Chain A
């Protein structure tokens, strides 16, 4: 059970969002919506424990995540709006360290996002969409219980969106939780909707 209670964040003397609350049972999904700058990415950072909220609590099974950030980190599959792909390393080498940390098999992860044929190509040769898929494959490594995805559909073509939708459905069927920020598309059928600021 992953729950947020009246989260508020102030940035540069401006109230970014306030009183955000939700509660997600295993298998549930939450779609963050909002215009640019509404605080979707910041909220994801708060939920990951990377940033402290100015008000409110985030709890995993009724324990505040800030009590043990390392333990909370071990639950997260993370995709930020940056791809964090090292261009000098091959696709496979980019996943070596994450695979050691998160567990999981690199080949399976690459296959899941349709990158098996590109695994030994330097990442600088990959297109923007392929890099995004590699970053998604990394977030899925080890099938951690909580996936926090910032704009997962960015730059993906239709076949990749199908792959991603299938992976998200499989994750939820296993009891995993997904929270995704997006302003386009709907990769999460049946997800709860959280509107951060009126559009």
Chain B
């Protein structure tokens, strides 16, 4: 158990040294979002209507980018054995990895979501629900992604398998998250969507680390 926070520290140290991974996810998010006004046209009304969906799908796809290396690098260079021998139960290794993924990817995505939403003319009354929804939403994506990347470890074509496995599971996150920020949504509807988003996060919080742990054990065999 006393290896939990040192493991998060190790992950962040590695992420800072490999800064390109986080930067790549952020740039991807930025570029994808910037492409939509070019494709749809610059009318503020049309963009505002689509903005929550664009932000959410962009954040989801950007969060997927670093997942392949999340356990993949440790699996290839033998460090996964050391993690499994660190005395932490595999599920806590999964949880520590999910927290690290969120701190190095989810949090930066959350930080640039506001300027991107304003760029897409999202009305001010929808901006707050968008950002509130992104907090549990990105956390859920980190949990689902961690479980997915642990499960595909050692599989051939794991990089192709990973999005196919994780994206369908992320459907509720996108529905509730984008629903809460829809400019046409009523205040009661917003609250409901945000509560459902939070509920889905609470559902994933215990299950995803357990699934990731099982995947790690199987990969270590």
Contact = CB atoms under 8 A, between A and B. Distances in A.
Contact of A97 (B10, B84, B89, B220): B10
Nearest to B11: A97
A168 to B, nearest CB: 20
Most A CB contacts (10 A, CB to CB) among B6, B74, B77, B78 go to B78
Interface residues of B, number: 24
A70 B17 CA distance: 30
B206 interface: no
Contacts of B14: 86, 88-89
A78 B77 CA distance: 14
B13 A78 contact: no
A102 B184 CA distance: 56
Nearest to A46: B221
A73 B86 contact: yes
B17 A101 contact: no
B87 A51 contact: no
A82 B78 contact: yes
B18 interface: yes
Interface in B67-110: 74, 77-79, 81-82, 84-89
Contact of A50 (B6, B18, B77, B221): B221
Interface in A129-184: 138
Contacts of B10: 96-97
B184 to A, nearest CB: 47
Contacts of B7: 97
A116 to B, nearest CB: 22
Interface string A42-54: 0001001011100
Contacts of B112: none
A101 B3 contact: yes
A84 B87 contact: no
A83 interface: yes
B85 A78 contact: yes
Contacts of A76: 85
A80 interface: yes
Interface string A24-50: 000000000000000000000100101
Nearest to B220: A50
B9 interface: yes
B81 A51 contact: no
Contacts of A118: none
A97 B87 contact: no
25 contacts: A45-B220, A50-B84, A50-B220, A50-B221, A51-B220, A73-B84, A74-B87, A76-B85, A78-B85, A81-B78, A82-B77, A82-B81, A83-B77, A84-B74, A84-B78, A84-B79, A93-B13, A97-B3, A97-B6, A97-B7, A97-B86, A100-B2, A100-B3, A101-B3, A101-B6
Interface of A: 45, 48, 50-52, 70-71, 73-74, 76, 78, 80-86, 88-89, 93, 96-98, 100-101, 138
